[in-house]
């Protein structure tokens, strides 16, 4: 099983490529991603976080407080529109372990993607699902949640991750 890449790994800063068609290999990658994400207790995972530069995302959200649960795979996801309404919430990332910061994102988005059955889906999502999708779609563009922070805060978080890796704490 692939390991999650940590900052400052260069692949995390590269743009993922559109899939011309969804092949068996891509579905296998998505299944592997799902396993890695669940083992790490993540809410989402982008393919470049485990070294694949393909536009694939897996989502697994269990929000017991709001009685909401969803688990799915997105191929070639893109955000079509963002609500003007913004919400600031604490975010973390499997590629930036044990580091968190308040990030402002749109409360609702319209997203388009190809699902597991190779069907084009277009829908509006809100709340935690909208936040997770924005976070993961950013990954596909080589953007991390720490990029919304000042360079000082961003560099502090990267140094903390480097120290965790050096000390073999992660």
CATH of the domain at 108: 3.90.45.10
Residue 58 lies in a domain: yes
Residue 2 lies in a domain: no
Neighbours of 135 (CB within 10 A): 21
User: Above pLDDT 90, what percent of the chain?
Assistant: 94
Residue 18 lies in a domain: yes
Residue 62 lies in a domain: yes
What's the rounded mean pLDDT across residues 105-128? 97
**SS3 call for 95:** coil
Q: Catalytic site residues?
A: 136
pLDDT digits (tens, 9 = 90+) for 60-101: 999 888 888 999 999 999 999 999 999 999 999 999 999 999
Domain total for the chain?
A: 1
Residue 1 lies in a domain: no
Residue 3 lies in a domain: no
DSSP 96: E
- Furthest C-alpha separation in the chain: 45
Q: What is the mean pLDDT of the chain?
A: 96
State how beta strands 68-82 and 86-93 pair. unpaired
- Whether 97 contacts 164, CB under 8 Å: yes
Residue 75 lies in a domain: yes
Range of the domain at 19: 10-166
Beta strands, E only, 3-67? 44-46, 56-63
């Amino acid at each position: 099983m692939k390991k999650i890449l940590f900052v400052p790994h260069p692949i995390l800063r590269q743009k993922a490529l559109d899939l011309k068609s969804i092949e068996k290999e891509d579905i296998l990658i998505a299944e592997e991603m799902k396993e890695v994400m669940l083992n790490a207790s993540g809410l989402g995972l982008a393919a470049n976080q485990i070294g694949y530069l393909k536009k694939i995302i897996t989502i697994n959200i269990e929000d017991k407080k709001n009685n909401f649960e969803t688990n799915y795979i997105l191929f070639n996801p893109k955000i079509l529109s963002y609500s003007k309404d913004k919400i600031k919430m604490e975010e973390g990332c499997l590629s930036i372990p044990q580091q968190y910061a308040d990030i402002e994102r749109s409360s609702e988005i319209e997203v388009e993607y190809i699902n597991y059955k190779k069907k084009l889906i277009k829908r509006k999502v809100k709340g935690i699902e909208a936040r997770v999708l924005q976070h993961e779609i950013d990954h596909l563009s080589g953007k991390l949640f720490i990029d919304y922070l000042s360079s000082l805060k961003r560099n502090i978080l990267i140094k903390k991750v480097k120290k965790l890796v050096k000390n073999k704490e992660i």
